[in-house]
Amino acid sequence: MTTVSVLIPTFRRPDSFVRAVRSAFAQRGVDSFEIIAIDNSPEGSALDTFRNLKPRPTRDAIPLGARAEARRRDTRNAP
């Protein structure tokens, strides 16, 4: 079984974020995948964009206070 983790860093660019998420969903030859979005905007705008996607994926939001912390969290959580 092929499992892929897709990390998408974003900062106030909802259109590019949606394209990146849809591109991940369109991949072939992958049995399962997870999308980890790193939203560097203080207002957390990517979460609202993510919630409005159809089909709606499962989500797990981990609010972080600093950009560097978000990067470190990604590397610690990678399989």
37-53 pLDDT per residue, tens? 888 888 888 888 888 88
Pick 78 or 40 by higher pLDDT.
40
Please check the confidence at residue 17 and state whether its pLDDT lies above 60: yes
CB 34 within 8 A of CB 7: no
For 29, the domain range is: 3-77
**What pLDDT does 20 receive?**
93
Q: What is the DSSP letter of 56?
A: P
In total, how many domains does the chain have? 1
Does the bond joining 63 to the residue before it have cis omega, within 30 degrees of 0? no
**What pLDDT does 59 receive?**
53
**What pLDDT does 71 receive?**
57
